[in-house]
Amino acid sequence: MQWNHGRRKRLCDLSRVWIQSLQLVSCKHNLLLRLEYWTGEEISMSKRRLAVTVILAVLLSQAGAEGYGERQLVVNIPAFTLCLYDDGVQIKSYPISIGTELNPSVLGETTIINKVVSPTYYPPKGAEPIPPGPENPVGTRWLGLGFAGYGIHGTNDPKSIGTAASSGCIRMQNGDIEELFPLVDVGTKVQLVYRTILMQEDPLLHTKTITVYPDVYKQGVSIAQLNEEITRLNWQGVFWPPLLTLLKSPTGQAHPLAWQWPLFLNGQATDLVAAEWNDAYYVPYDLPFDPRNPFALATVKWGEEYYLPLESYLKLTGLSYSKAQGQLNLHSPVAYLGEKSLGKALIFQNELYLSVACGTFQVIPAATQVVQLWGDIYGAAWTLVGRDTLGQIHLEWPEGSVSFSSW
């Protein structure tokens, strides 16, 4: 069959419209395709098949490109971690080895420039190349980076993963890079960053955590950096002492943040704060640390201060607590002898003490100790009311407060 110029032109025009139409449908309807066959006499069956083949090739090519979003690799040097992101969402994370302090890994943004399966290793200074195999230092895969001479590769020394052991390249376990290899392409962006502080929030439980990694390259981690990150996230009410402890002794592990609660005693504000940490409350504990104290093992040291779990503190002192309007309120019990109020009381080491502030007691001369708590002086109850009446004293706590005392 002879085709004149006019018919060829009409066929080209029809094919062009058809391709544009199908591409438009695929974009607007998420690849829910509609193939329309042209049946005019000007298109032969063989040409129509060719057109359908071309169209499907275009659409399948487009589907492959849209199968996943923009992928990116992020290497956090202090964390010894390489993460794969798809459209900004982390989908993979791998442990790595980084450059030593003398040969640190390069920081910055680059791309993958080549991919090699079973690479040959070319040592520096013209030494003999090492062919693929178990003795090859770069393992089974190589992802070349835009930084000259640097790459992401496997290893023949799996024990080095998690340490600073390379000459600047990023090492991975062979199994990990073999998994990663088909997930990235030449041109994939790669960022190498140095973040020693990582703050995150769980999307379901909304638990806020902080991870402080060791400063492997001694670039310095400061309180100002930490404060800048907290300010950026607008996380208000953070309790700082545990963070300062982490800065001094980074663990590389995620820790829940502690939150401060203004501390009140008997309705009066104090200049101290309690801490809410890991679903428990802690209050300042300024008694000398004594390992013989039954609560010694529960004591937590943050910075230079000691803190005691609230429940332990209440058992130790006989106080009760309540929460209201973001405040933690401590309440002293009131001692009664019959219906007579003896004022505020305190239980310390299972012994009852009474506040001497009211001055109505006739002190019994005896060698005894006094206890000072929150500015009040307490004397042993038996020296104030006598041993014979000690058993008649009962304690009352404010309604609605919680006490753990067994008195």
Question: Which residues are identified as catalytic?
Answer: 153, 169
Q: How far apart are CA 8 and CA 377, in angstroms?
A: 107
Give which of 13, 36, 33 is closest to 25, Cα–Cα.
33
Backbone angles phi, psi at 371, to 5 degrees: -125, 135
Helices (H), ranges, 304-380: 310-317
What order do you get walking across the sheet with 280-284 strand by strand? 300-302, 305-309, 280-284, 268-277, 259-265, 327-331, 320-324, 402-403
- Cβ atoms of 109 and 189 within 8 Å: the answer is yes
Bridge-based pairing of strands 189-193 and 71-76 is parallel
Give which of 65, 37, 39, 62 is closest to 52, Cα–Cα.
37
Q: How far apart are CA 156 and CA 105, in angstroms?
A: 19
